[in-house]
Amino acid sequence: MLSQAADSLYWMARYLERAENQARLLDVSLNMAMIDTPEDREAQLAVPLEIAGTRELYDACYQELTPKNLVQCMVLDRNYPDSTYNLIRKARENAHHVRGNLSADVWESINSAWLEIQDFSQGDVTEFNASWLSDWTRERSHLFRGAAYGTMLRNDAFLFLRLGTFIERANNTARTIDVRFTQASLPEHEKDARGFFEWTALLHSLAAFEAYQNLYGHNLQPLNILELLILGRDVPRSLQACMKEIVELLGQIDGPRGRSAKRLANSLHANLRYGDHTYIADRGVEEYLKDFIHRVDRIAHEMQRSYMEGQA
Amino acid sequence: MQLKAPAPHLYDELFTANGDVRPHYQFIAQWLQAAEEKRMAEKHREANALFRRSGITFNVYGDTEGTDRLIPFDLIPRILSASDWELLQAGLRQRVNALNRFVHDIYHEHEIIRAGIIPAEHVFANAQYQPVMQNLKVPRNLYAHIAGIDIIRHSDGQFYVLEDNLRCPSGVSYMLENRKMMMRLFPELFAELPVAPVDHYPVLLAETLKAASLKPDPEVVLLTPGRFNSAYFEHAFLARQMGIELVEGADLFVRDGKVFMRTTAGPRQVDVIYRRIDDDYLDPLMLNPDSTLGVPGLCAAYRAGNVVLTNAMGTGVADDKSIYPYVPDMVRFYLGEEPLLKNVPTWQCRKEDDCKYVLENLADLVVKETQGAGGYGMLIGPVASKAEIAHFRQAIRARPDNYIAQPTLSLSTCPTFVNSGIAPRHLDLRPFVLSGKKVQMVAGGLTRVALEEGSLVVNSSQGGGTKDTWIMER
């Protein structure tokens, strides 16, 4: 398929996945901030910004980190590049470019999201209906995914779209574990109820709370949680699950290109598939995650270079 | 709802001059009379919501606000009887054949010029004439693979060709989407009436594009100026329907005189380019050096016969308004037949006598720029202000050969939904004619309707709307 089209499909899916992940992170942070002491509240609210690496950007526009401001910023702010508004706008622009490669259902799911979000006004958006907005965003993302699964031809367009989803997701999961893990493992949180909520927040941020209960029951053990989110084969947002998809998708792209992306992805996947928690513990969770993020970025970079830049 | 018969001096598609309903409109007339206004308004809202959701929008040049605007869609179909269509079809086939012969001739032997039928300067001094096309052999001698011919019905009940569009005629996606919309909103009508289908148009178009190359299974792409073009929706729509790549200039490159597209699997050669950008923008090396839309080296590849352009370069000469008056003569000259479709009588301001007549009768005439398109740069005498007429008088005096004039035709009317209910509005018809191994067309076309009372300007860029066009199979 056309290199430029592959690029647009890939970014379209990345932006939508990012919107979904952010909606979840924002929702969790607002909930956590409500139960927190005033001193800890700001730290909670900063979590989504830290995960996205946009704290400075936020501070440049808003004086205080309050629930209201955070919601305003992350949902409709035209100047914040990763606001839901801007993510859907960018997804729609990319979709418009590859209109010819999308099924009508996929296009309409994105186009109608864009039409709807333009009708939301800043005045309507507060910390009190943020949950509703988060639901809306996640539903739009589910609708897009469902339409893509249900109606798109299984060709390269579909593969690049899916690659966008999983590269973004792998990145997001790793960053979320990183930031939330640091919060949860502060010594003063180890034994009290706070610690419990922190771990719950991590699971909720990655839509894995129910999966955890299903597998491990109510007993929240940090080691189990990390095992599930990093090595778990059957949780859709774990690092291993993301890498498994990326490897499979890359493997289906025919042609001589993309060897280095494929090689890097396979090696990272093998590392997770045959790794265990002692290996991670030995390296240190933070160190491990930092390395993972770096390697995913390289895979993305290699993909971009060999498929999407369209060298003659 | 109430149907109103139009003014008696006009031709109405639904009513005869006596106020009777024409036979092929009987069913729809009854259906409209039985329809409730509230339900129709609901259906209309539903149509708009569906069009907007699927992104069937139109960018209007010179409008900074609404980048995406809906073309107003009218729910009352424009219906043509089987016998009307039979005449149109034969006439269109004849006309497009003659036009293709003409383009071939002016880039080869110039027989029509040597025979003294068309003055040489009309052709060779024409801005659309492309010297690079001289003696270039194109497969099957075809130039206008896709033609959109604008037709109106005058008050005498006869069809007249208003304009031949041979460069990048657009609008066919609206023909297809309007039909889809009507079938969705009113399936019951299609169960009752023998409406000829149009949805196989993309199949015929794909066939035509493949036939433009002599290779057995050519790689065909659609070249668009990009997302900000007014017809981008149509480009994407057609590419998707035909299963071909939609490319922009930057997706293509030329190497060793061949054209390739940049793909995820490396370069892939392209054999046929269905280009929806004008000649001038195709190749910055040969034509407009400022163009960022085209592909450097494309002209050389074309000249070398390594790629086919549809429509061919230089085809625009034949749809120029200064050549238009000669089309009936072309039919006689190349085919030895009498034209089945009439031309609108045209005064050419380049001729002294014609110019004099035009200047004296500006208030009654329609004046057009020979190179204008889309309803821009046009004077409609009977509705123009004094200032507009004065402006055109000056412009014609300064550059007489830039203008032609025609009598103000009374375009036929058809019942149309308006704020006050249903009222007659003027319309035209653009059928699409495809020339490949044979000349083909689907029974239908794009009907454009002027929504303002009394207005004769149907162009969507000037606030016109569209209707679904039904050809009765019997």
Question: Distance (Å, rounded) from C-alpha A120 to C-alpha B2?
Answer: 40
Do A187 and A282 belong to one domain?
yes
Do B364 and B315 belong to one domain?
no
Cross-chain Cβ contact A3/B264 below 8 Å? yes
Do B467 and B398 belong to one domain?
no
The pLDDT of residue A219: 83
Question: Distance (Å, rounded) from C-alpha B447 to C-alpha B429?
Answer: 5
Do A148 and A177 belong to one domain?
no
Q: Could you tell me which residues of chain A have a Cβ less than 8 Å from any Cβ in chain B? A: 1-6, 93, 96-97, 99-102, 104, 107-108, 111-112, 115, 156, 160, 253-257, 307-308, 310-312
Cross-chain Cβ contact A312/B262 below 8 Å? yes
Do A145 and A195 belong to one domain?
no
Cross-chain Cβ contact B266/A104 below 8 Å? no
CA B137, chain centre distance (Å): 26
Cross-chain Cβ contact B245/A1 below 8 Å? yes
Do B31 and B73 belong to one domain?
yes
Ramachandran quadrant class, A253 (left: phi over 0; alpha: psi -120 to 50; beta: rest):
beta
The pLDDT of residue B65: 39
The pLDDT of residue B377: 73
Do B86 and B171 belong to one domain?
yes
The pLDDT of residue B62: 47
In a domain, B110, yes or no: no
In a domain, A300, yes or no: yes
Q: Which residues pair with B378 in a beta bridge?
A: B368
The pLDDT of residue A123: 79
Do B47 and B137 belong to one domain?
yes
In a domain, A86, yes or no: yes
In a domain, A39, yes or no: yes
In a domain, A157, yes or no: no
Q: Which tens digit of pLDDT belongs to each residue from A163-217?
A: 999 999 999 999 999 998 887 776 666 666 777 888 899 999 999 999 999 999 8
In a domain, B85, yes or no: yes
Query: ipTM greater than 0.90, yes or no?
Result: no
CB pairs below 8 Å between A and B: how many? 80
CA B101, chain centre distance (Å): 20
In a domain, A161, yes or no: no
Do B152 and B214 belong to one domain?
yes
In a domain, B48, yes or no: yes
Concatenate the DSSP letters of all residues of B149-208 into one string.
Answer: EEEEE-TTS-EEEEEEE-SS---HHHHHHHHHHHHHH-HHHHHHS-BPP-TTHHHHHHHH
Do A137 and A181 belong to one domain?
no
- Closest-CA residue of B relative to A310 is B262
The pLDDT of residue B374: 56
Do B350 and B212 belong to one domain?
no
Do A84 and A201 belong to one domain?
no
Question: Distance (Å, rounded) from C-alpha B54 to C-alpha A111?
Answer: 7
**Average pLDDT of A220-229?**
90
In a domain, B237, yes or no: no
In a domain, A297, yes or no: yes
In a domain, A160, yes or no: no
Task: Print the domain residue range for B360.
Answer: 345-407
Task: Print the domain residue range for A14.
Answer: 1-152
The pLDDT of residue A34: 85
Cross-chain Cβ contact B264/A6 below 8 Å? yes
Q: At what angle do helices A285-303 and A156-184 cross, to 10 degrees?
A: 160
Contact B279, B143 (CB under 8 A): no
- Is residue A4 predicted with pLDDT exceeding 90? yes
pLDDT in tens, chain B (474 residues): 888 888 888 899 999 998 999 999 999 999 999 999 999 999 999 999 888 887 777 655 544 434 567 889 999 999 999 999 999 999 999 999 999 999 999 999 999 999 999 999 889 988 899 999 999 999 999 999 999 999 999 999 999 999 999 999 999 999 999 999 999 999 999 999 999 999 999 999 999 999 999 999 999 999 999 988 888 889 999 999 999 999 999 999 999 999 999 999 999 999 999 999 999 999 988 777 777 789 999 999 999 999 999 999 999 999 988 899 999 999 999 999 999 999 999 999 888 899 999 999 999 999 988 876 555 678 888 888 999 999 999 999 999 988 999 998 889 999 999 888 899 999 999 999 999 999 999 999 999 999 988 888 888 777 789 999 999 998
CA distance A192 to chain B (A): 51
Do A147 and A170 belong to one domain?
no
The pLDDT of residue B28: 96
Do A116 and A203 belong to one domain?
no
Tally of structural domains, chain B = 2
CATH classification of the domain holding B374: 3.30.1490.270
Tally of structural domains, chain A = 2
Name the residue among B359, B347, B318 with its Cα closest to residue B133.
Answer: B318
- Closest-CA residue of B relative to A103 is B240
- Closest-CA residue of A relative to B267 is A312
- Closest-CA residue of B relative to A156 is B264
Tokens representing A233 are 């084969």
In a domain, B37, yes or no: yes
Do B358 and B399 belong to one domain?
yes
In a domain, B207, yes or no: yes
Q: Give contacts of A117 with chain B, Cβ < 8 Å.
A: none
